[in-house]
Structure 1
Amino acid sequence: MNQESPPIQKEQWRNFWRLLASTNPPKLLLLGVLILSLVNTGASLIVPWFTKNLVDVVTVSTLNTSVILLLIGAFLLQGLSSGFSHYMLSFAGEKVVSNLRRRLWEKLLKLPIPYFDAHRSGETISRMTSDTGIIKDIIVTHLISFFTSIISVIGSIVILLYLDWQMTLVMLTAVPITFLIILPLGRKIYKISKGLQDEMAGFTGLLSQVLSEIRLVKSFNAESHEGEKGDQRIQHLFKFGLREAKIQALLAPMMTFLMMAILVVIIGFGGVRVATGALSAGELVAFILYLFQIIIPFGQLAQFFTSLQKAMGATERVVNILEHEEEDHVVQKAVEDPAQPILLDDLSFSYQTGDQVLHNVSLTIPSGKVTAVVGPSGSGKTTLFSLLERFYRPSSGSILLGDTPIDTYNLKSWRTQLGYVSQESPLMAGSIRDNICYGVEREVSEAEMVLAAEMAYAHHFILEMPNGYDTEVGERGIKVSGGQRQRIAIARALLRNPNILMLDEATSALDSTSEKVVQDALNNLMHGRTTLVIAHRLSTVIDADQIVVLEAGRVTGVGTHEELFASHDLYRELATQQFQLDESDSNQVDSNEGDKTES
């Protein structure tokens, strides 16, 4: 086990320095901080020497003004250099962590969907906030002080050897003892810190999940259940905090005891040497002051190594994100002719769990026509859409636009051709205007936006809102109804003007009145485009140019409604059941209206 530790530590160091270098730190500023810190250290080394002269001069009753002035000058120089270096270092640290967070943010936006399938959003948020904060702490608080502490220790030891080498050697016996204490405790702090960061990420993930679905929690009276889960996380954090506190509680008094023991020995031994005339009183005072110049930096070094262990754990997780495979945005080939058929050639797909969702799907989606995909839940319809959007890569087979595989096109260019309207129709927090224009990189005129809203049958209800197009929709569009959300999403797709349209059960969650309005808006959107529709309600797709039946990831039928109704058992069964239900619902509505009339 011990034989494996050095390479791991070496790799951690390499990752840490490489991560810092990749953030493009302000090198000149850091150099200035280092110079000022060296000036500060130099001034602090001069002060005890002047103090020695001052004590020796006072003992012979002759006060030297120049010594006092030099001592005051050294104090001023130390204070000014310390203040400037602290501000500059804080600026450099904030700049580094800002660049690091920017890199992480850009990386997160380029990560493929499978990454987000495997990692909870709260954990990723923790990496962006908590872990980068730990890395910033070591830069701002400890990094420069690490170098200046070493210089201070070395400088003090050299001067102490000059003053009295025998007392210096007595003092240096504490150095190996100090390292014997720090190193094993540092390893424990690393393990605890790593576990603490994991637990914090898990707790952040739970918070993110519960707060985003707070209505679900309350409607199912799940407060106590979620409260227990949160309490468990908080207890784990508490235990990790206690474990860290125990080590700190052990480390601090041990270091204090060791340093106090050295101080007592030095004062006792120094008193004897002053009494014998081997050392002057001023030299003893200087020796004690230089001893503090060693003790304080040693404490800072201990804190540095403790923080470094924490930073190593944080670095490991940040580097894992930064080195994760991202979506391919390098390919430059643009889509030139989107008005071509889409071919699915022997397409198969399995998720990372290993479950195969699609099996050897071969299909032609004609250009400019409507293709509907129907089938039982879990048959792979939405997965098919995800593959078309290039959220995932096929396990085997390929998807082609004409004769060209779609993965040879630039990802941005390909997705520009697509317009996606889903059952949920997610909206971003912001105004209706922001959501309609979302993702459009050009300047959108008011007339364009209003036209898109009118074609989506959204303009009228938007004008009735308190602030019209500037009305806030709330987090995830909670302040507007389901039908209104759908029509805003359709307006967004119309403004995007896609060549290939994908509708994923876009009306399944709506009441009959809203469905009629949304269906009219969808008809406007579908006109003249290659359209793929996923629908559970067959009544919405019976007029499709082509209907594809998908069962357990396999295509079992392709044709028009009439052809499939005549030849496909599952389709006939689904159609018969749904049309009977639709007829029953219609009769119920008529009956209710008749009752109202009679009354």
Structure 2
Amino acid sequence: MQYQQFVSRLFVYLKPHVGKLIFTSVMMMLATALESAIPEISGQIVDELFASERSESSALLYAFALFGVIVLSSIFALTSTAASSWVSNKVIMDLRETMFAKLLKLPKSYFDQHPTGKTLSKLTFDVEQIAAAASTIWLDFIKSSMTVIILISYLLYKNWQLSLSLIILLPLVYLAVKLSSNRMRSASTQVQKSMGSMTHLLDENISGSSLVKIYHAQNQESSKFNNLIKNIRQQRFKVDMTGAFNTGFVNILIGLSLGSVVYFSSTSLQMTAGEFLSFFTAMGMLIKPAKSLVNINKPLQTAMAAGESVFGLIDEQEEQNQGLKILSNAKGGIQFNDVSFSYQGGKTVLNKISLDITPGETIALVGSTGSGKTTIIQLITRFYSPTQGSITIDGVDISEFDIDSLRSQISFVDQNVRLFNDTVKGNIALGQTETMSDEKIKQAASASNASQFIEQMEKGFNSEIGEDGAKLSGGQRQRLAIARAIAKDSPILILDEATSALDSATEKQVQAAIDEMQKDRTTIIIAHRLSTIQKADRIVVLRQGNIIELGSHQELLDQKGEYASLYNHQFKN
């Protein structure tokens, strides 16, 4: 990302706060101007109070003047910092809101291709680096550049010959900064990427801590983590050393300048003590802002590298939703018409599938891993779109429906239950917490056989369940997911081995609730345990993306084909 592009993108978020930025800049300019008056006041104090006849009234006047300059400068600087901090944190908030809103609109393919940790790093670490450009870097630039301009003007006023000889050194400072910029930006970009990888690795090991321990993978994961942080250390060392080189080079130039001032002011120029103090103090005050202007390149390059990451996310292609038709009260008739699908130009996952599901019918999908069962579900919910053919609901191509209205007609229960760090009530009424009645929530919990354990919790339906339902057992988590599907009350129901985490007794109770829920609903079941689908109206047997058998449980057993083989294998083992 080029500097101009970075500034123009960032300015979109700074534009609403231009007034505050101007106010911040003015306050900092006033603070800087007052600070820059200190060398002249100091010189006059030496000449008038220590090199001539001393006067109490003059001493009091200079004391108040010096005190007043410092107090006013501090007040202006504090006001500027407060306003800048407000803008910076507002920009962070606005960027995070934009990024989170974008995440909610991204297609599933994005999350399939980008590790969670790296995405999290963009919202946590990278956005903070950008905010520095919105406040800290800007303030440092204003303060430092103003100080340099005022003090150099003052030095020219005091002795232009000596000052000009010092200003000649400035091009050397510019050259050092120019040479270091590319190196800093490259290293900063690597730091951003490595931080994302580290966040991803931490997320994996925290969420999978039990798995790491049971498989004794601590050394393996530690090695991966150590390699990552070693890389981060090396890249940050490059950034720091480049900055240190710049600072050291500037220090050498400053030392040469100060030494020259001491020599010439005391010999050929014959300055008074006060004049020398004023000139020397002004030069001394130039050191810090000069260093800041050189070192400002380091956080700026870091911010630009972070900007490439953050704005890259914001620019990601959103999930396509070009459908205009609203689907409501769907009957549930689903038809696959020669549907083929492959992930990003890879091998074909589905090969010209044709399937007609009538309203209210229960269809079970059976097949080995990779046969295309999950892909069929992904296509119905429009997480992906067919590469060939079409899918219709009630005779209308699903691409013509508004995507939100389409998904409002589908309830889904996955074997890998996902719960949110919320209350029991919030998880059952997910997406409808403001509109769903308590009575409906309780009915859904009762139907899924979840009421008993919910009522035993300290706060009942208002009990927090922890991250991903950490406070619940596997069976309790699955019953909450089933209650959520029941509460949504959609005409199309998708079940991915919804009772897999339940014990036999509870499974029978929940299966009875599911059987009741399936009435007058189109139900699609992904089946791993064939005992759960014997009541299905039809069973679809898939192999490598093709439908090889289709019929009822008994019909398929009678055919003595693939399904019969799978069934006999499960029950004989």
Q: TM-score, normalised by structure 2?
A: 0.93
Query: 1:170 and 2:165 equivalent?
Result: yes
In the alignment, what sits opposite 1:30? 21
Structure 1 residue matching 2:449: 3-state secondary structure: coil
Q: Secondary structure at the match of 1:26?
A: helix
State the Cα distance separating 1:193 from its structure 2 match: 1.6
2:338 pairs with 1:346: yes
Rounded Cα–Cα distance in structure 2 between residues aligned with 1:521 and 1:23: 55
- 1:333 maps to 325
- Counterpart residue type for residue 371 of structure 2: S
1:262 aligns with 2:257: yes
Distance 1:23 1:564, change over 3 A: farther
Bigger Cα displacement from structure 2, 395-404 vs 243-252: 243-252
- Counterpart residue type for residue 228 of structure 1: S
Aligned equivalents of 1:289, 1:568: Cα separation in 2? 98
C-alpha separation in 1, matches of 2:478 and 2:123: 32
Is 2:72 aligned against 1:77?
Answer: yes
Name the structure 2 match of 1:95: 90
Counterpart CA distance in 2 for 1:386 and 1:555 is: 17
Amino acid at match of 2:42: T
Residue 54 (structure 1) aligned to one of 45, 48, 55: 45
**Contact 1:500-1:531 at 8 Å conserved across structures:** yes
- Give RMSD over aligned pairs: 2.3
1:339 Cα deviation (Å)?
A: 0.9
Q: 1: CA distance between counterparts of 2:155 and 2:20?
A: 33
Q: How far does residue 568 in structure 1 lie from its aligned partner after superposition?
A: 6.5
Equivalent runs, 1:225-264 vs 2, <5 Å: 225-264=220-259
Partner of 1:154: 149
Separation in 2, partners of 1:559, 1:353: 32
- 1:42 equivalent among 16, 33, 50: 33
1:454 aligns to 2:446 (yes or no): yes
Which position in structure 1 is the counterpart of 2:178? 183
Q: How does 1:114-125 map to 2 (within 5 A)?
A: 114-125=109-120
Structure 2 contact 102–318 (Cα < 8 Å) conserved: yes
For residues 336 and 217 of structure 2, the distance between their equivalents in structure 1, rounded to whole angstroms, comes to 44
**Aligned twin of 2:126:** 131
Aligned counterpart for 2:8 among listed residues 2, 8, 17: 17
Kept after mapping to 2: 8 A contact 1:127/1:317: yes
Q: CA deviation at 1:332?
A: 5.1
Deviates more, 1:525-534 or 1:506-515: 506-515
Residue matched to 1:444:
436
Q: Which amino acid aligns with 2:400?
A: T
Say which of 409, 414, 418 aligns to 2:406. 414
In the alignment, what sits opposite 1:391? 383
* Per-residue CA distance 1:211-234 (angstroms, 9 max, x = gap): 101111112222222222222222
Distance of 1:74 and 1:484 partners within structure 2: 69
Structure 1: 5+ residue stretches without partners: 1-7, 582-599
Match status 1:476 vs 2:468: yes
Q: Which residue of 545, 548, 573 maps to 2:540?
A: 548
Give the deviation of 1:66 after TM superposition: 4.9
Tell me the secondary structure at the aligned position of residue 442 of structure 1: coil
Counterparts of 1:200 and 1:43, CA distance in 2: 42
CA distance in 2, matches of 1:126, 1:469: 34
Q: 1:273 to 1:462 in 2, by over 3 A?
A: same
- When residues 544 and 23 of structure 1 are mapped into structure 2, their CA distance, relative to the original with a 3 A threshold, is farther
Aligned to 2:287: 295
- Report the residue type matching 1:132 in the other structure: V
User: How many pairs does the alignment contain?
Assistant: 569
Instruction: Determine if contact 2:361/2:537 at 8 Å carries over to the other structure.
Output: yes
* Separation of aligned partners in 1, 2:191 and 2:343: 31
Which amino acid in the other structure matches residue 33 of structure 1?
Answer: T
Kept in 2, the 8 Å contact 1:458–1:488? The answer is yes
Residue 561 of structure 1, aligned match among 550, 553, 557: 553
Kindly indicate whether the alpha-carbon contact (under 8 Å) linking 1:142 and 1:300 is maintained by their aligned counterparts in 2: no
- Shift of residue 317 of structure 1? 0.4
Residue in 2 that maps onto 1:491: 483
Q: Which runs of 5+ in 2 are unaligned?
A: none
**Using a 3 Å threshold, how does the CA distance of structure 1 residues 182 and 455 change in structure 2: closer, same or farther?**
same
2:14–2:134 contact (8 Å) kept in structure 1: no
Once the two structures are TM-superposed, the CA of residue 494 in structure 1 deviates from its matched residue by 0.9
Secondary structure, aligned partner of 1:536: coil
Partner of 1:3: none
In the TM superposition, residue 172 of structure 1 has moved relative to its aligned partner by: 0.8
> Is 1:361 matched up with 2:356?
no
Secondary structure (helix, strand or coil) at the match of 1:443 reads: coil
Deviations 1:240-287 (A, max 9, x none): 333334334433333222212211112211222442xxx544333222
